[in-house]
Structures are given as C-alpha cells and as structure tokens.
C-alpha cells in the first residue's frame, strides 16, 4: 500500500524515522512513519548502539584499564550518535517549522544534559530504548497493514486485450471502455466488465472476504480483483482502470488514516500544550530549590529536571492512540468492512438507531419465482408464461424466463404490450395474456378475487380468455438478515427502521419476519430523506443509514454514519458512505459496531495507562526517587505496552 507523502521525508538512515506531516486545520500533531519495518538496515543502528552500550557497561563494571578518560567518552558517544542523530535532526526540523516544544526536543535536552553530567550510560539508554520503542511501533504498523494489504494486493498489473483480432498484453490503465479482455483460469480481473461467456465461477474473497465461489452469468458484472476459477473467459470492459471497484477501495483505505478521530486530535492538541508546560516545570525544578533548599546542589536538581523531562515525553499517547485506530481499521478490513477514517470508528460506538434500505441491503435485490399455482397442466402453464414474458425486458419477466433454465421457449407472435398491465400474444394458435389483475379486468376475464389481496408481486396468466393460474415473484431475503437484526439489538441499537420504495404491505411483512421495529414502504428518494430528518429531530438519536442504491446517496450523506453495501452497491452510494461493507452481508453491521467498541476500549486503556504511570514517576522524579532508568520505563516502556495493547485488536475475534 502506497504511503502518504509527508513534508519531511527521511532517507533510510538506519534508524526508525519520524515524519511530521504538514499541519492543517483538521490535523494537528505528528505522524510517525517508520519505513519498511522488515528491512534489516532499519535495525542496524539500534543493534550497533546496544552492542557498544553493553560492552561499555561491562568495561565499567570490571574496571578494564584501557577504558578510561577520553576513550570512555568517545565509546559512549559512538553508542549515542547512531540512535540520537535522527531525533536531533527531527528536533531541528520541527523547530524550523515553529514547533519548538516536541518530544524530540525533550529527548535531546534530557540526554545532552545527562552527557554533560557524566551520566553516559543513561543518556545512551534513553535514546536507545526510545529507538527500540519506535522500531516496535514500526513493526506493529506493518502488522496492522497486513490485513489491508491482503485485501488490496490483488490488482493485476497486466490485461490481455483484444486488438487487431488478437489478444495483446498491456497495462490495465491503457484499456478503454468497450474493449474486450481475456481471463485465463487462475487469473484475476484487472478491470470491471460484463461477462461475455454464458457463465463462469469466481473467487471473490479479495473484495468480499468470502471464500465461497460465486457463479456469474452472461451480461452480469465481474469486478476487478475477482479470481477466475475454471475456464478461459472474456469480458467487455465497462469502467476505466481508475474507476474500477478495486481502485476505489484502494483509495478509500489509503485515505482512511487521514480522517482523524476526535480522541486522536484531542491528544495531539493536548501534547502541544502539555509539552511546554512540562519544559517550564523542569526549568522551575532547577531554579526554585536554590531559594528554598539549604544545601542546594545544582547538579542534583539538574539531574532531577532531566529525569522529569524524559518521563514527561508524550510519545506513548502520540504513538499508541493513532496505532489503536489503525489496528481497528485493519481488523475491520480483514472482515470485509472498510472504514474511510478513524473518526468513524468513534462514531459507530455511539449508534443507537439503524435505518435500512430493503432491496439490496436486507434482500438480494434479485426477483425469483417463489410459488406456481396452475389451473391447467403446470408444464404447459409455465411454457406459455415463459414464452410470452421472454418478449419483455421487465425484471419480473426476466425472473420468470430465468426460472425455465436452458429449456427451449415456444414461438411467440402478435405481441402487444399494454403499459402498466402486461402482454398479450399468440402462442401455438392460443390467445395468451400475462400480467397483473388489471390486465385480466381490462380483458373481462374472471379470476379468483382473493388474488387482489395478495401482498407479494403476482403475475396472472389467461389462455383463450380463461384464467389459467398465477406465479408469485419475490425478492430473496439474505440468509443472515434475521441474525443481523438480532445482533444489532444485542449491541446497543434500540431502534431499527426499514425504508423502502417497495409496496408498504411487502415492506411491513418483511419487517415482522425479521424483527425490525418500524417499516415504511411506497417511499420515493425524497420521502426517505424526510423520514430520516424526522428521526433525527430526536437529538438523543445517533443514526446510521445502510443502503446500496443511487437513490440512497442523499440519506447516506444526511445520516450520522452512512454505510453502503459495497460488492454490488452503486458507485454513488459507495462514494457517499463512511463505511463500506464489501461482502454485502447485513450481519457485518453489528461486526463493525463491535470492532469500533473494541478499538475505543483499547484507546482509552492506553490513555489511562500512560497518564497513570507518568503521574507516579513524575512525582517520584521530582522528589529525586526516580532515576533516568525509571524515566526510560515511564516513556518507552509505557509506549511499548500501549503498542502491544493496540496490536491485540488484530487478534480479537468478532
């Protein structure tokens, strides 16, 4: 995954490097960038310093003869410089930018002061352990990125495109809409396109997190990143490389960390105020005792002030909190959930009302024949119905024809379409009519009146002016829809509302089946907006809206948190949403809430740990009871523990 560019980009100098991003109105503080944590070069300076420090401590302990005067000083300086230089450089760069009081300046002042006092081992140890803590952070960030990389490192670098009657290997960026590309078995689709073959099987795990193969039929969409499983196929490209589903996901994840959570922003702003206060307290710790203490010794109080400075570094907070959120984003990605920023991990923990679209969110959005009731031979009934419906492009007609499978259809002639009613035609010398009850009324054909009370979509058939039977067409409910509603109620959502453009009777029936609290049907897009505005009038309601269609974009934007079904959702819905559920499973809404709550717990644990340990050691340091070693633990040790705690999010089961 490409890293965001920073104002100061360090070259690989062997130490973990700090980059301070350019300040903007909505982002304050520091970005800690560690390069490639797996690179051996990254660890060499720390290893070199550690070897020199341990050998120097051994020489001091055993009082080795040659290890005296200037040789001892040079030895410790050689151990100090590799780990201190990047921090000194960063302190200088931040000062030139107008940021004087940073953790880097505190580290430099404390360690240079310790060197001046002759406390060489402690000065080297502070910088060394600080660097080791930063290296652990770098490794932790790399670990957190693995789940995201697994999701994103699936975009092929080449496409086999049909040009001049032969397939050429080109870069996907050069392929234009309408061109034909070929995929061999085991290859991933480089671009979005329509399947030209009759059917093909795909592994969609890269996009949805689901490993179950999925069958896609002729004319249906194949998304970039889907793996072709069993045959050579061709696709007609429908989107440019930059606009493909996978490219959009990649951009979403790359920009996710730029949208900071309020907790993260608060801590960074807090650190900017806290650091100068601590600096002046350290100065006061040196100066004030001169006027109060009888046997004042400058060296003793300076040492205490330096210890105070090291302890006070806000690194544990500045490092571990963003890392906690990054861990949450990574854990969510592993479950096929994309948060477009860490701020949304905070918002989702407060959600108490979920408003949902029906079609495509709780249902598959695909019509299927649910029931057949024939007054004549069922085989003949359906042969006539499928034949006449094959002359219509309506989704319901397509569902009826699809139910026939590969059977050859009867020949149809003299087709007439009556808008809003249905079709009439001649099939095998028979007058055939198929449509809704209004059609049969218009043709004065008698049918059972109880069919007018049927809630679900019904298609009636008449042959030679006699009622012949009906089929019920229904949208299939997703397998985990009921479980999703139960899980939401268990996770603090006390009101679930369903909004749909479908008939009110169908909408209310589904709501009762799934256990949804309120349901409203027959809604236009502007009606959905009105309903959501009405719900939001109650200020105690924190509302998430879940949808998938273009008509859902206004409500997604209006809600406190917009969630889109990403696998088959519309581009506009995915772009407008704050969270994208890649596998289209409504049960992942509750999973997203659980991940948000786990992230918040870890972040607050880290804040509590850092403040508690620092408060204790600061008091001990000011009283002369804590040495530089305790200071190192309070700073680097707490940061290290906080990092380990943040990593836990990756291991949790949701």
Residue 266 CA, chain-centre distance (Å), reads: 22
Q: Which is it for the CA torsion 52, 54, 55, 60, positive or negative? A: positive
**Neighbouring C-beta atoms of residue 125, cutoff 10 Å:** 25
CA neighbours within 13 Å on the CB side: how many for 274? 19
Where does residue 504 fall: left (phi above 0), alpha (psi -120 to 50 degrees), or beta otherwise? alpha
C-alpha span between 354 and 492 (Å, rounded): 10
Task: Choose the catalytic residue: 31, 357, 502, 584.
Answer: 357
Cα–Cα distances (Å) from 650 to 134, 324, 496, in that order, read: 19, 10, 29
Contact (CB, 8 A) for 532 and 555: yes
C-alpha span between 369 and 462 (Å, rounded): 18
* Coil vs helix vs strand at 274: helix
Where does residue 46 fall: left (phi above 0), alpha (psi -120 to 50 degrees), or beta otherwise? alpha
The CA-based angle 507-511-517, given to 5 degrees, is 125
Q: Which of 324, 340, 243 is nearest to 646 (CA)?
A: 324
**Run of H or E residues at 325:** helix 315-334
Tell me phi and psi for residue 64, to 5 degrees.
-65, 135
- Annotate 44-81 with DSSP letters as a single string: HHHHHHHHHHHHHHHHHHTT-TTS-HHHHHHHHHHHHH
Long-range own/partner contacts, residues 54-60 (CB < 8 A, 24 or more apart): 56/120, 56/121, 56/124, 57/121, 60/121
Task: Return the DSSP state at 354.
Answer: E
Active site residue 12: no
Give the per-residue SS3 of 506-550: HHHHHHHHHCCCEEECCCCHHHHHHHHHHHHCCCCCCEEEEECCH
Cβ burial of 334 (10 Å; 0-12, 13-18, 19+) is middle
C-alpha span between 328 and 479 (Å, rounded): 27
**Run of H or E residues at 216:** strand 214-217
Q: Which of 70, 88, 75 is nearest to 127 (CA)?
A: 88
Active-site residues, by number, are 357
């Amino acid at each position: 995954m490409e890293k965001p560019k920073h104002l100061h980009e360090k070259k690989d100098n062997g130490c973990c490097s700090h980059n301070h991003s350019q300040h903007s109105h909505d982002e304050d503080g520091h970005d800690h960038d560690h390069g490639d944590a797996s690179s051996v070069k990254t660890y060499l300076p720390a290893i070199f310093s550690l070897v020199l420090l341990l050998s120097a401590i051994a020489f001091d302990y055993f009082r080795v003869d040659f290890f005296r005067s200037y040789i001892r000083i040079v030895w410790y300086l050689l151990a100090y410089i590799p780990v201190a230089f990047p921090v000194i450089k960063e302190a200088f760069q931040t000062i030139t930018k107008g940021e004087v009081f940073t953790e880097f300046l505190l580290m430099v002042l404390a360690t240079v002061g310790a060197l001046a006092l002759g406390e060489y081992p402690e000065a080297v140890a502070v910088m060394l352990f600080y660097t080791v803590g930063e290296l652990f952070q770098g490794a932790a960030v790399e670990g957190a990125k693995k789940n995201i990389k697994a999701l994103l490192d699936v975009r092929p670098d080449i496409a086999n495109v049909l040009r001049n009657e032969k397939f050429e290997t080109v870069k996907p960026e050069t392929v234009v809409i309408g061109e034909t590309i070929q995929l061999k078995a085991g290859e991933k689709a480089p671009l979005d396109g329509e399947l030209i073959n009759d059917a093909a099987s795909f592994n969609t795990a890269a996009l949805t997190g689901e490993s179950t193969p999925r069958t896609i039929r002729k004319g249906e969409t194949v998304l970039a990143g889907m793996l072709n499983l069993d045959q050579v196929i061709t696709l007609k490209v429908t989107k440019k490389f930059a606009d493909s589903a996978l490219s959009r996901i990649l951009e979403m994840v790359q920009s996710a960390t730029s949208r900071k959570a309020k907790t993260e922003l608060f801590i960074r702003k807090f650190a900017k105020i806290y650091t100068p206060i601590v600096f002046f307290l350290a100065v006061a710790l040196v100066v004030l005792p001169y006027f109060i203490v009888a046997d004042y010794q400058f060296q003793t109080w300076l040492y205490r002030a330096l210890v105070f400075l090291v302890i006070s570094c806000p690194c544990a907070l500045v490092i571990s909190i963003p890392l906690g959120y990054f861990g949450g984003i990574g854990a969510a990605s592993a479950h096929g959930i994309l948060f477009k920023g860490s701020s949304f991990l905070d918002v989702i923990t407060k959600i108490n009302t979920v408003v949902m679209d029906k079609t495509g969110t709780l249902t598959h959005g695909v019509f299927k024949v649910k029931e057949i009731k024939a007054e004549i031979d069922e085989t003949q009934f359906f042969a006539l119905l499928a034949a006449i419906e094959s002359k219509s492009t309506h989704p319901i007609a397509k569902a009826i024809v699809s139910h026939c499978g590969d059977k050859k259809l009867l020949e149809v002639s003299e087709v007439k379409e009556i808008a809003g009613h249905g079709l009439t035609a001649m099939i095998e010398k028979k007058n055939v009519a198929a449509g809704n009850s209004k059609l049969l009324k218009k043709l004065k054909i008698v049918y059972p009146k109880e069919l007018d009370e049927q809630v679900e979509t019904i298609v009636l058939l008449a042959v030679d002016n006699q009622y012949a039977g009906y089929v019920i067409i229904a949208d299939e409910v997703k397998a985990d829809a009921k479980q999703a509603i139960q899980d939401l109620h268990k996770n603090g959502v006390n009101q679930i509302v369903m909004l749909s453009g479908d008939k009110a009777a169908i909408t209310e029936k589904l709501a009762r089946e799934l256990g949804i609290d309120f349901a409203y049907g027959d809604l236009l897009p502007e009606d959905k907006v009105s309903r959501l505005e009405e719900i939001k009038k109650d200020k105690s309601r924190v509302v998430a809206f879940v949808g998938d269609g273009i008509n859902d974009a206004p409500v997604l934007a209006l809600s406190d948190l917009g969630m889109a079904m990403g696998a088959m959702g519309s581009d506009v819905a995915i772009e407008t949403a704050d969270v994208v559920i890649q596998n289209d499973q409504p049960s992942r809404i509750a999973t997203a809430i659980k991940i948000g709550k786990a992230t918040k717990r870890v972040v607050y644990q880290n804040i509590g740990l850092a403040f508690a340990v620092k408060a204790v050691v600061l008091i001990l340091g000011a009283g002369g009871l804590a040495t530089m070693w305790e200071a190192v633990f309070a700073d680097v040790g707490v940061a290290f523990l906080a990092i380990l705690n943040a990593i836990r999010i990756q291991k949790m089961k949701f």
